[in-house]
A and B are shown apart, each in its own frame.
Chain A
Amino acid sequence: DAGVTQSPTHLIKTRGQHVTLRCSPISGHKSVSWYQQVLGQGPQFIFQYYEKEERGRGNFPDRFSARQFPNYSSELNVNALLLGDSALYLCASSLVGSSGNTIYFGEGSWLTVV
């Protein structure tokens, strides 16, 4: 079975631009989360979605937004990019119903803002 898939794998954007990152969860997983991992640090939680609704939000500005589609895939959008947004963006999926469920991560999207 396919794991969590993310696209694109790498991209370069200019300050002030907008970016959209995409994620497909593991088949059967209805919960999708997004994390930002800055080089040299642990991942930081951005959002969780399931049933197309935001279920949790980390300490990120309103420039960051996300949505989930009926097929449970998700998009992360970042507006007005800053140099500090350069990071690995990780998508994760899990079953719903128990917070003990394992969260599985994709390979990530590397974003460089110049």
Chain B
Amino acid sequence: AQSVAQPEDQVNVAEGNPLTVKCTYSVSGNPYLFWYVQYPNRGLQFLLKYITGDNLVKGSYGFEAEFNKSQTSFHLKKPSALVSDSALYFCAVRDPYGNAGNMLTFGGGTRLMVKP
């Protein structure tokens, strides 16, 4: 079975500083990995994904993520945080060889707080 762990419930960072939101995964084969962001009382917005290729993936709003197969991690990063980045961030994994159709397995989420 596939699983995702987001070890930090909340990450606090000052505006202008770099941010990292951590994610580790477990899947039987090569994973497909995704990051989504959720603003209060809203749905999920897609940020970026890793399917294959370059381990550093660039996404929306200046976010990027680094796939590390040996550490089974897919941490989300941004060089300079904005107050408007404050939101709930979810990491998700899909097993491309699984039998559960289009299923994404999500982590529990990490709340990012960026302070001015």
Contact = CB atoms under 8 A, between A and B. Distances in A.
A14 interface: no
B115 to A, nearest CB: 22
Interface string A70-100: 0000000000000000000010101000011
Query: Which size bracket describes the interface of B in this complex?
Result: 20 to 34
A114 interface: no
Contacts of B94: 99
Contacts of B107: 42
A58 B44 contact: no
Given A41-B108, A42-B108, A99-B94, A108 B100 contact: no
Given A90-B43, A100-B51, A48 B101 contact: yes
Contact of A56 (B32, B52, B101): B101
Given A42-B90, A43-B44, A90-B44, A103 B106 contact: no
Given A42-B90, A100-B96, A33 B44 contact: no
Contacts of B57: none
A19 B22 CA distance: 37
A5 to B, nearest CB: 11
A55 to B, nearest CB: 4
B108 A56 contact: no
Interface in A1-60: 4, 31, 33, 35, 41-45, 48, 55-58
Interface centre among A4, A99, A102, A106 (most CB of B within 10 A): A99
Contacts of B51: 100
Contacts of B106: 42-44
Contacts of B4: 42
Contacts of A44: 106
A48 B109 contact: no
Contact of A99 (B32, B43, B45, B46): B32
Nearest to A55: B101
B12 to A, nearest CB: 18
Contacts of A92: 44, 102
Interface of B: 4, 32, 34, 36, 41-46, 49, 51-52, 90, 92, 94, 96, 99-109
